[in-house]
Structure 1
Amino acid sequence: MIRKHVNNITPGMALGKTIYGDNYAILLKKGIAITQDHILSLKRRGIVCVYVEEEDTADIETPEIVSEKVHTMMTKRVIITYKKISDSFKDLSMKGSTCESIINSINSEKFKKTFHQNIELKQLNNDISFFIDEIMDREVLAGLNTIKTHDNYTYEHSVDSAIVALLFAKRLRLDRNKLKQIAIGKLLHDIGNIFIDMEILNKREKLSEHENEQIKKHSVFGYELLKDLEHVGFVAAHIAYQHHEWQDGSGYPLGLKGSNTFDFYNVNEICYSDEAKIILPAEIAAIADFYDACVANRPFRPPIPHDIVYELIKNGAETHFNKELVRYFLDLLPKYPVGTEIKIKNGAYEGFTGFVFSLNRDSLNRPVIKILYDNNKKKINPVVIDLSSVGRNITIQCIF
């Protein structure tokens, strides 16, 4: 299974990954033969890349971080939770209410009573153990295979960024209690979006300054919703509050600064009392949030290639992201995930294209590649090269 740009898909190819539509109903099922009408429908929905199965890449095994069953279960649970909470506040929106009036309503006795009794939220919290169990034996962020649609972006982003944050937190040796706090925080980190005008959230054009300011309020609304819920907790509420804060103080909503440090030996003795600093789980969440948002298709832009996202995170250390955490994060993030289409930039195969065949755990950014096309896009007999050894002088780049 490999990821291909929809412009490079031809009718008859088998879909490698199920695509879901509104309310997470199946839109196109894994294994179906893709038709021209399917391709046109994908383009209309703004889907740029999908996973396909084809003969030349049948031996490329694209790994799953969590099973499709658990991913689907958690996404549906998040959808139900968001929508049930949204129904409690259906008379409020950014269109007709001020920020102050929304916060006052969130903290009113009427809404607090309804919200605190939310069965779906409690069930989401209970299901997190299944989620964590699936991630415990994973060592590398091999790539997220979800094809996000505009209908489901908020929900799938919540689940996928939670997967990234959990794998990262496990790498940092956080205990299970902290993993659970981070999981619920990431699954609900964008819950404040229920008060934002959907036209703004789904807008394909560049947002105006006013629209950007409206979206920035989602972190405040999310915090106000979660801060008093005992089964959610302080950490989760502050992940919603702080996941857009940057190390240099240029983030929002409070302009907090980070420490740019990480104590591996006292990681589970985290102090949350300093309100002027970003808490560690929110620093983890910020990196996970940025990574998943970049590699996902958005209403206003296509996915950013993984190698560019890798460099963006690396270059954002110290100013945007905790520089010590970035070092650990890049140790589990392949620059070229399995199944990614690549182009060779130098040497005898310059301009030839193919796919990442497998990873070398001891040399994560020097994978094994499989070349399938020459520099004129003509098919060739496949050539497999291990960039960690015989191909060590070859440089590659991700392409869509």
Structure 2
Amino acid sequence: MRRVFVDDLRPGMRVGRSIVDAAGRVLLTAGTVLKPRYIQYLRQRGIAAVDILDDLAPDVVPPDVVSPQTRMALTAEIRNLGEDLRQELNRTGARSLRRWADRSLGPLRSAVAAVVDEIVSNPQALLHMQEIRLHDEYTWGHSVDVCILSTLMGTSLGYDVARLRELAMGAVLHDIGKVTIPESILKKPGPLTEEETAEMRQHTVRGFEILRQSEGISLPAAHVAYQHHERWSGGGYPRGLRGEEILEFARVVAVADVYDAMTADRVYRKGYSPERALRNLREVVSDWFEPRMLQALVDNIAVYPVGSLVELNTGEVAVVVSVRKGAAERPRVRIVEDASGRRPERPRELDLERYPGLAIVRSLRDVENQADAGQQASPGGA
């Protein structure tokens, strides 16, 4: 299975993973053979990319960190909470938010606990491919991915279950202040003006003000909304904090936020592959993050996700069939093309851990683009 940008879809391709919206409605089921009208429908719904069954390896399916049902439940809860909050603010302003928070956060907390429990029960899990998101629901899908990735990082940092749940609540709510930002700014496909950027940056302060009114949200979790755009070396916002002035939960979420923004497929641009995103985080913007948190991210990412196509140093092309935690850059692969571009009659599999002379030289995922790292990070840094 491989991820294909919608503009590159062709009739006859088969959907590898069901596509659902944030309310749990299935748009296309796994196994559906694409027709021209289906492709147009996906484009109209703002779908950026689709997981397609690849005839090179039809049996290879990326594993889920959490079950689709658990992810869907959390996405629905954060979406519903955000819409409810927007209505409450329109109706009464900020006067009755304490009552709103105490009433509305319970279901979200239960959904977060289910995510944490699944991750804790599978300590070898790595993040492979993110959920495909509808353009209009990017914020909520992003919040769920950041929650999952932050929780994975928390396990590497040695957090117990109680602390993981606290971190996960802060992570899933890190962008809650965006309910106060006009949609014309949130969904603008091009660069923001100075005035729009200043308005967007207010989501950190407003999110914190919303969350601090709830007795059900700890102050460290609420500070994630406030501080996740602060930078380890300074120069972030809203307060220009640096180093250990930034609370630890916010340092975790800051890394997860930017990584997810870099790798997300959007209607107006293609996301980076995990390999390229991690390279940018390590080499281009590494001073944004505490090194310990950056390493916790690296430890939980499948650099070459199951189902992705890669080129070996022999010139052969292979599909990744399995990845082991602790050896993410040396997965098990299946050779699907020789160095001359011919398909072998009997594809063979190689565990790169056992062949030190073999190495992956690049990912062949076709959703790379030429945006610089600062531009690519901006969706998470706006």
Q: Which amino acid aligns with 2:86?
A: S
Is the counterpart of residue 236 in structure 1 residue 239 in structure 2? no
Q: What's 2:371 paired with?
A: none
Residues of 2 paired with 1:124 and 1:164: CA distance?
Answer: 17
Deviation at 1:116, TM superposition (A): 3.6
Query: Does 2:53 match 1:53?
Result: yes
Task: Give the TM-score taking structure 2 as reference length.
Answer: 0.87
Q: State whether structure 2 residue 310 is matched by structure 1 residue 310.
A: no
Say whether residues 1:386 and 2:354 are aligned partners.
Answer: no
Shift of 1:8: 4.8
Matches within 5 A, 1:1-400: 1-21=1-21, 23-90=23-90, 105-106=93-94, 110-117=95-102, 119-136=103-120, 137-259=122-244, 277-315=245-283, 319-344=287-312, 346-347=313-314, 349=315, 352-373=316-337, 379-381=343-345, 382-390=347-355, 392-398=357-363, 399-400=365-366
Higher mean displacement: 29-38 or 4-13:
4-13
| Equivalent position SS for 2:287 | coil
Q: CA deviation at 1:253?
A: 0.9
Within 1, Cα distance between the matches of 2:20 and 2:202? Answer: 29
Distance 1:284 1:357 in 2: 29
- SS, match of residue 370 in structure 1: strand
Distance 1:156 1:180, change over 3 A: same
**Deviation digits for residues 213-242 of structure 1 (CA, Å, limit 9, x no counterpart):** 211111111001001211112112100111
CA contact (8 A) 1:80 1:120 kept: no
Aligned-pair CA distance for 1:298: 2.7
- Runs of 5+ consecutive residues of structure 1 not aligned to the other structure: 93-104, 260-276
Superposed CA offset, 1:316-339 (max 9, x none): 575101012222332232221111
Corresponding letter in the other structure for 2:104:
E
Please state how far the C-alpha of 1:78 moved relative to its aligned partner: 0.9
Q: Tell me if structure 2 keeps the 8 A contact 1:366–1:392.
A: no
Contact 2:14–2:34 at 8 Å: present in 1 too? Answer: yes
| Farther off after superposition, 296-305 or 165-174 | 296-305
Secondary structure of the corresponding residue to residue 154 of structure 2: helix
Identical amino acids, percent of aligned pairs: 29
Equivalent-residue separation in structure 2 for 1:113 and 1:332 (angstroms): 36
1:333 counterpart SS class: coil
2:24–2:76 CA contact under 8 A, matched in 1: yes
Q: What one-letter code is carried by the residue in structure 1 that aligns with 2:62? A: T
Moved more, 219-228 or 173-182: 173-182
Q: Distance in 1 between matches of 2:193 and 2:278?
A: 28
Gap regions ≥5 residues in structure 2: 367-382
The aligned amino acid for 2:273 is P
CA RMSD of aligned residues (A): 2.4
Q: Secondary structure at the match of 2:51?
A: strand
**Aligned partners of 1:73, 1:121: CA distance in 2, in Å?**
14
Contact 1:5-1:48 within 8 A present in 2 as well: yes
Partner SS state of residue 232, structure 1: coil
CA distance in 1 between counterparts of 2:291 and 2:247 reads 14
SS in 2 for 1:334: coil
Which amino acid in 2 is paired with 1:222?
Answer: G
CA pair 374-201 structure 1, distance change in 2 beyond 3 A: farther
Quote the Cα distance in structure 2 between the aligned partners of 1:12 and 1:75: 31
Seen in structure 2, the aligned counterparts of structure 1 residues 370 and 210 have a Cα distance that, compared at 3 Å, is: farther
* In 1, Cα distance between equivalents of 2:198 and 2:339: 46
Contact 1:227 1:234 in 2 (8 A): yes
What is the count of residue pairs matched by the alignment? 363
